[in-house]
Amino acid sequence: MSRILGHPVVAFLARRIVYSAIVLLGVMVVTFALVQLVPGDPVRIALGTRYTPEAYDALRAASGLDRPLPQQFLSYLGGVLTGDLGVSFRDGQAVAVTLMDRLPATVSLAAVGLLIAMLISVPLGIWAALHEGRISDAAIRIGSQFGVSIPDFWLGMLLITLFSVTLGWFPSSGYIPISQSVGGWAHQVALPGLTVGLVAGAIMTRYIRAAVLEVVDMSYVRTARSKGLPRHTVTFRHIVRNALVPVLTIAGIQLATILGGVIVVEVVFAWPGLGRLVYDAVLMRDYSLIQGAVLLIAALFLLVNLIVDVLYAIIDPRIRLS
């Protein structure tokens, strides 16, 4: 038993879980405080522009907003510890249920977006670095600069105009769960996934090019070359492998960014993800939903970081899980 607990991976995971719990508690405190500081009254929003003062008091009391703040926070904290994220002000539904409804759409869009981004950026970034200063490098750099500068809103509309309206190949909006129909899901996710992927891919191409360039100048690469190793062996065994760690870091950050909500892309393609949910929740001052969504996104962020850290150790055994 002590052997299992003493195993570096288990110890690492245990430490990370404790660390994550502390981070999440901090997230909860900060989110709760920020939500209170934002002007705008959820009761007024829910009632619309016309109501009686009695209706205002009745709804405020019914939703617990008339209680003192410390009491509200403690009851929120107690709820979270028992897995209850509270009830949405907007529709009276359990926040946890709403978030789980929206999570698959966000996760699948993020996965497809990241996959497309990797397919674009890994070959282009490596190629550009290995051909530094040549025309192909310049072309890739200009292309990625272009991709970074394009507003995702505009790119999305462009793809809709081309692939939906003109060619009629893909739908412009909507979502079908992967559990319901893989083909239908793929058809729906194509355009929003491409939008996310092109933008993220352009950013990642630049980072990967820089990461590979750094490795190219390392002494061990020169040594390998001077030993007379074949060109592709040097490229893949020495350069690319060592450049993977920074690549993984940037991929992790990109993935976390996408998970945190590509609000604009979700709005353009009417994609029922977390980004739009959070956006609507903020407009409605739906306190429980905002707090729950931020907590979930923070947890996903920590999870992605954890996966990235474990992958580091797999790529490069010199990196210890510590």
Which of the residues 232 through 291 are near other proteins (CB under 8 A)? 236-237, 240-241, 244, 247-248, 251, 255, 267-270, 272-273, 276-277, 280, 283-285
Rounded to the nearest 10 degrees, the angle between the axes of helix 182-216 and helix 241-259 is 140
Contacts of 141 (CB under 8 A, 6+ apart): 128, 206, 209
Q: Which one among 11, 13, 65, 107 touches other proteins, defined by CB under 8 A?
A: 107
Task: Report in angstroms the alpha-carbon separations of 306 from 5, 14, 18, 198, 311.
Answer: 18, 12, 13, 26, 9
Encoded one letter per residue, x for contact with other proteins by CB under 8 A and - for no contact, window 172-211 reads: xxxxxxxxxx--x---------------------------
Q: Report, in Å, the least distance between residue 2 CB and other proteins.
A: 29
Cβ proximity to other proteins: between 85 and 110 the closer is: 110
User: Quick one: 22 or 169, whose CB is closer to other proteins?
Assistant: 169
Phi, psi dihedral angles at 293 (to 5 degrees): -70, -40
3-state secondary structure of 94: strand
Of 55, 74, 77, 139, which lies in the binding site for other proteins, with binding defined by CB under 8 A?
55
Query: Is 307 a residue that touches other proteins (CB under 8 A)?
Result: yes
β-bridge partners, 192 = none
Per CB under 8 A, 58 contacts other proteins: yes
Which residues make Cβ contacts (< 8 Å) with residue 24, sequence separation at least 6?
295, 298, 299, 302
Does the protein bind other proteins through residue 98 (CB under 8 A)?
yes
Question: Which segment (1-9, 24-32, 109-117, 137-145) binds other proteins by CB under 8 A?
Answer: 109-117
Does the protein bind other proteins through residue 111 (CB under 8 A)? Answer: yes
Helices H / strands E in the chain, number of each = 15, 0
